[in-house]
């Protein structure tokens, strides 16, 4: 699979793919269940937007905390703790009887998921050669988009056959299985894994325990180097969170569709993201091999993806034909997701010794957007009844993101800016 042979490295990547899949199933299941939940709990669109936003608050808060924890204690322990919280809060969502209880469950779920992707970035930094970082990040995140795509029909089936409460219980059980497998299979240091081969080890970057080093993380140089990427990912996240949180409700109420039709149209859009995630990483690594330029491989792919996404969103604001809107949203989401592979490779490129913390900063940009954009979407809908108007803000933020890509310098590492005495053991300036 794109340079991966059968072995521990491939198995680890597949486990992180499964994690990304479940991460987004457990995150976006609420979007599909929102209709019957709103009726049963008596919630307005603004209240639903608040539920989406409260998840993003705790999600944003624990990006850097989770990345620091993964750098210090490893991805194995971090993801065990995160996964256990997913299990508890997903099951707990099936038990809520009030708006306040739902807020509490989503807030705790945000804590768990906030640390997850930085921990995954730390794991990939240890287990992935530099030339495959774009692909590894892209394919892992493509499974999250597959989770987006499969969740609407899966939740619709479970809700129609049983109830929306049962659907959350079932997904909690599946997540529990992954948590157990992760703990017993994964190791932070690839060289301590019983299934690793000498050929795999030869291609991997050197591993050094970070426990004695992370306390000395150069926070200010790290923030300065990663801030432009964080801004770009904020611009991505503004639109991404609208898709993740509101898309099923957009089709259900904006076009008066039943739950089956809502699931079909939502899945069609989300499946385009599966292709976009994988292809973006493949293209980024191909450009890196052909040109040797990390800047071209990361920044240029992101720039083109933003331009394509905003062009595809423009017609959504003006047309009301369901088929055309679905096609435009699918193209926009495909182009938007081309961003993922290269932008998640950047924190590992820029700060290989602090990949967890750097990944946390980058994803915090998207998480902050997730606090604002879903909440504003709900307010705009309640005030105007216009379901396409919020996409005007997406177009504006994508334009800002295009400009911000020119401040990204993924070819310059944090280590290259530090005095030799401050470099962690094994780091190369």
Residue 393: give the domain boundaries: 8-200+219-413
Count of the separate structural domains present in the chain? 1
Q: Examine residue 226 and state whether it is found in any structural domain, yes or no.
A: yes
Question: What is the residue-averaged pLDDT of the chain?
Answer: 81
* Tens-place pLDDT, residues 246-260: 787 788 878 888 877
Q: Examine residue 381 and state whether it is found in any structural domain, yes or no.
A: yes
Three-state secondary structure of 34-81: HHHHHHHHCCCHHHHHHHHHHHHHHHHHHHHHHHHHHHHHCHHHHHHH
Q: Nearest Cα to 190, choosing from 321, 41, 7, 17?
A: 7
User: For position 307, what pLDDT does the model report?
Assistant: 96
pLDDT higher than 90, residue 234: yes
Q: Examine residue 205 and state whether it is found in any structural domain, yes or no.
A: no
User: For position 414, what pLDDT does the model report?
Assistant: 65
Q: Nearest Cα to 186, choosing from 248, 123, 136?
A: 123
Integer-rounded Cα Rg, in Å, for the chain is: 21
User: What is the arithmetic mean of pLDDT over 290-299?
Assistant: 86
Q: Examine residue 343 and state whether it is found in any structural domain, yes or no.
A: yes
* Tens-place pLDDT, residues 389-424: 888 888 999 999 999 999 887 777 665 555 444 444
* Tens-place pLDDT, residues 51-95: 877 887 888 888 778 877 887 888 889 999 988 998 999 899 888
Q: Examine residue 213 and state whether it is found in any structural domain, yes or no.
A: no
pLDDT higher than 70, residue 293: yes
Q: What is the C-alpha to C-alpha distance for residues 149 and 170, in angstroms, rounded to an integer? A: 18
Q: Examine residue 179 and state whether it is found in any structural domain, yes or no.
A: yes
Q: Examine residue 40 and state whether it is found in any structural domain, yes or no.
A: yes
* Tens-place pLDDT, residues 151-206: 778 888 888 888 888 888 988 898 999 999 999 988 888 888 887 777 777 777 77
Residue 4 is given by DSSP the state: P
Q: Nearest Cα to 213, choosing from 25, 372, 426, 424?
A: 424
pLDDT higher than 80, residue 324: yes
With a CB cutoff of 8 Å and minimum separation 6, the contacts of 129 are 203, 204, 205
- Which tokens go with 188? 């932070």
Three-state secondary structure of 81-123: HHHHHHHHHHHHHCCCCCHHHHHHHHHHHHHHHHCHHHHHHHH
- DSSP letter string, 214-255: GGG--HHHHHHHHHHHHHHHHHHHHHHHHHHHHHHHHHHHHT
User: For position 208, what pLDDT does the model report?
Assistant: 54
CATH of the domain at 335: 1.20.1250.20
Q: Examine residue 155 and state whether it is found in any structural domain, yes or no.
A: yes
Cα-Cα-Cα-Cα torsion 314, 318, 319, 325, nearest 10 degrees, comes to 30
Q: What is the C-alpha to C-alpha distance for residues 357 and 362, in angstroms, rounded to an integer? A: 9
Cβ distance 361 to 64 under 8 Å? Answer: yes
């Amino acid at each position: 699979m794109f340079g991966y042979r059968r072995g521990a490295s491939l198995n680890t990547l597949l486990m992180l793919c499964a994690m990304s899949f479940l991460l987004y199933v457990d995150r976006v299941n609420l979007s599909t269940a929102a209709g019957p939940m709103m009726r049963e709990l008596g919630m307005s669109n603004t209240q639903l937007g608040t539920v989406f936003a409260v998840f993003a608050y705790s999600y944003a808060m624990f990006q850097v905390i989770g990345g620091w924890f993964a750098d210090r204690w490893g991805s194995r322990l971090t993801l065990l703790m995160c996964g256990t919280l997913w299990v508890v809060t997903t099951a707990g969502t099936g038990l809520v009887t009030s708006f306040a209880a739902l807020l509490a469950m989503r807030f705790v779920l945000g804590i768990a998921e906030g640390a997850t992707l930085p921990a995954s970035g730390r794991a990939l930094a240890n287990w992935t050669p530099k030339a495959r970082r774009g692909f590894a990040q892209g394919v892992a995140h493509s499974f999250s988009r597959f989770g987006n795509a499969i969740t609407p029909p899966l939740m619709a089936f479970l809700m129609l056959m049983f109830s929306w409460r049962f659907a959350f219980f079932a997904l909690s059980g599946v997540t529990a299985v992954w948590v157990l497998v992760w703990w017993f299979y994964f190791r932070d240091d690839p060289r301590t894994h019983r299934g690793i081969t000498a050929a795999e080890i030869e291609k991997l970057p050197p591993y050094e325990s970070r426990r004695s080093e992370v306390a000395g993380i150069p926070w200010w140089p790290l923030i300065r180097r990663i801030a432009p990427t964080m801004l770009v990912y904020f611009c991505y996240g503004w639109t991404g969170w609208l898709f993740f949180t509101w898309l099923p409700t957009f089709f259900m109420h904006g076009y008066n569709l039943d739950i089956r039709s809502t699931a079909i149209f939502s899945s069609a859009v989300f499946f385009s993201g599966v292709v976009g995630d994988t292809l973006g990483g493949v293209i980024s690594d191909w450009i890196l091999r052909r040109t040797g330029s990390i800047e071209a491989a990361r920044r240029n792919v992101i720039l083109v993806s933003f331009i394509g996404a905003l062009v595809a969103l423009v017609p959504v604001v003006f047309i009301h034909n369901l088929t055309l809107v679905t096609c435009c949203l699918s193209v926009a989401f495909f182009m938007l997701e081309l961003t993922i592979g290269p932008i998640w490779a950047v924190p590992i490129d820029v700060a290989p010794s602090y990949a967890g913390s750097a990944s946390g900063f980058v994803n915090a940009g998207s998480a902050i957007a997730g606090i604002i954009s879903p909440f504003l979407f709900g307010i705009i809908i309640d005030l105007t009844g216009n379901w396409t108007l919020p996409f005007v803000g997406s177009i504006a933020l994508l334009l800002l993101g295009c400009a911000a890509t020119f401040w990204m310098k993924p070819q310059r590492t944090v280590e290259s800016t530090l005095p030799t005495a401050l470099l962690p053991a094994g780091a190369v300036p």
